[in-house]
A and B are shown apart, each in its own frame.
Chain A
Amino acid sequence: MKRAVPALVVLAAIIGGWYALAYSLDNNFASSDGSALIIPPPHRLLEGLNGPTIERIAAATRISLVTAVVGFVLSALLGIVLGIAMSLSRSLASGLWPWLIALQVTPIIVLTPIIVRVVGPSFAARVLVTVLISFFPIASNTLFGLQSVPRALHDVFTLAGSSRMQRLVRLQLPAASPSIFAGLRVAAGLAVIGSIVGDFFFTRGTPGLGRLITYFFLDTRAGPMFVTAFVASLIGLAFFIVVVAANRVCVAPWHRP
């Protein structure tokens, strides 16, 4: 409980700053009905939320959440399989690595329109954007973890006459799991970003959170814009909590860094 105090103090400061900003900005309340144009103060956040708006936000949340979940799961599978494959084959690793880096350093937002054009404005395109932004930390952390097993542990398995498969399953993967989980934690945040960024370039169909927030922005509906941002933030938080909880069950009991 005591540990939460500093965080609560910061929260109070943020809310205070939020109020100060909301009431100090010129023209913030210059609309005809007196609602906030730029930043609604915290207690008036839900004012602009009527039934249809709530439905739009719910639909957008569903799309973005499903995209992020499917994209994250596929990223995890792709990243771990790729990491294992690169650990098994040196030539595969040196062949792929520079291009994975090239892909990783390319801002995903410039690839998104290309993907939407090539794949079409489908669910698959959204998922592809999400996978492209989030698989790399999993792949690189898996590879790093598999390669960082101490030599003495390898020797134990060598002396026991273990097969390549036994070594991978009983030694390398468990040893790499803390590193893999660290990659998953980074990827979880990226998957949420990917699902929302990917949405920006969709011009048809039900909007996800990314496109919805641009609608509210263009309509100067500050309240719903903030609520949408909060929902996106909650999705990110939920992802983070799931990965941290899995780490707590699988790795934390035995792992001491």
Chain B
Amino acid sequence: MITVGVSSDIALGAEHVSHAYGDADALHDVSLHLRRGEIMALVGPSGCGKTTLLRACAGLLSPTSGHIELAGSANAGGAHNAGARIGFVFQEPALLAWRRVEGNAHLLAGPGDAALVDRLLAATGLSAHRRKWPHELSGGMKMRLSLARTLAARPEILLLDEPFGALDQITRHVLHDEFSTLHSEYRFSALMVTHAIDEAVYLADRVLVMSQAPGRIVAEIVVPYARPRATALRFSSGFAALCGETARHLAGSA
């Protein structure tokens, strides 16, 4: 069940969410509160129910118990109700192969949002590739397009399911910074599932660590660094310590 209208600084709340697929428990009593404008990362071993939680937040799945709360919003839309607008970025780019780059970018945009789509294509470096087909793009460009397409719907909340998981390390780091820039410009709240610890710490304000299935939240790590963050942060000892702490919780949970 998803309800709308919790306190004003929480964009999305999960309250005691549990889910089972038949007899298999996937999630156990998970609660989290995503603040407005915050980036929150969820890390956990594979199969711990991260994706299940994300799909429940999006309304793509009804949890067995517990509920999802969305901040009230004037904008209607999304799968479930007239709540905040949710954008979902999938593990794979999920592009429509029969639409050109610009056709994909416009897929979710409103009729008057051509200028926004143009800005997003420029911000993701795709302006020169508007007339290309998805199969002509590199993996990184496909993911950028997927991100631009999702943002063109003006989501207030972005749910991301291992969005950079299929990319090589170099492309991934470039996209981290691009994503941060987009975040500072469009001010969405984001809940990102990942199993890359450095990615979680570099991008998020808070990192939640989940246990082996059935997933529970076993730790919350607050990342104190101000934005914008720069690549140099990756080489600092403080960053390494936070990654280490996250890894320790992850190991303890497995």
Contacts and interface: CB of A to CB of B under 8 A. Distances in A.
Interface of A: 150, 152-153, 155-156, 158-161, 171, 174-175, 177, 253-256
Nearest to A177: B98
B94 A159 contact: no
B135 A152 contact: no
A161 B90 contact: no
Contacts of B91: 152
A160 B98 contact: no
Interface of B: 58-60, 77-79, 86-88, 90-92, 94, 96-99, 107-108, 133-135, 153
Contact of A253 (B78, B87, B133): B133
A171 B92 CA distance: 17
Contacts of A177: 98
Contacts of B135: 254-256
Contacts of A155: 58, 60, 88, 90, 94
A152 B135 CA distance: 17
Given A159-B87, A160-B107, A254-B134, 14 more contacts: A150-B92, A150-B94, A152-B90, A155-B90, A155-B94, A156-B108, A158-B60, A159-B86, A160-B153, A161-B78, A161-B79, A174-B96, A177-B98, A255-B97
11 contacts: A152-B91, A156-B107, A159-B79, A160-B79, A160-B153, A161-B78, A161-B79, A177-B98, A253-B133, A254-B98, A255-B97
Contact of B98 (A156, A158, A174): A174
Give the interface SS of chain A, mostly helix, strand, loop or mixed: helix
A155 B87 CA distance: 11
A254 B97 contact: yes
Contact of A153 (B60, B86, B96): B96
Given A159-B86, A254-B133, A254-B134, A153 B98 contact: no
Contacts of B59: 159
Contacts of A256: 97, 135
A254 B132 CA distance: 9
For A153, A171, A254, the residue with the greatest tally of chain B CB atoms inside 10 Å of its CB is A254
Contacts of A253: 133
Q: Which 4 A-B pairs have the closest CB atoms?
A: A152-B94, A256-B135, A152-B90, A174-B98
A171 B94 CA distance: 12
Nearest to B134: A254
B143 to A, nearest CB: 13
A253 to B, nearest CB: 7
Contacts of A171: 96
A95 to B, nearest CB: 28
A92 to B, nearest CB: 27
B188 to A, nearest CB: 15
A152 B97 CA distance: 13
A159 B92 contact: no
A103 B96 CA distance: 36
Contacts of B134: 254
Contacts of B97: 175, 254-256
Contact of A152 (B79, B92, B99, B133): B92
B87 to A, nearest CB: 8
Contact of B58 (A159, A175, A254): A159
A175 B86 CA distance: 25
Nearest to B149: A156
B88 to A, nearest CB: 5
Contacts of B92: 150, 152
A160 to B, nearest CB: 6
A253 B135 CA distance: 10
Nearest to B100: A254
Nearest to B55: A155
B101 to A, nearest CB: 11
A158 B77 CA distance: 11
Contacts of A153: 94, 96
B151 to A, nearest CB: 14
Nearest to B58: A159
A168 B4 CA distance: 30
A221 B246 CA distance: 88
Contacts of A175: 96-98
A156 B79 contact: no
Contacts of B90: 152, 155-156
B193 to A, nearest CB: 14
For B79, B98, B107, the residue with the greatest tally of chain A CB atoms inside 10 Å of its CB is B98
A159 B96 contact: no
A159 B89 CA distance: 11
A255 B133 CA distance: 9
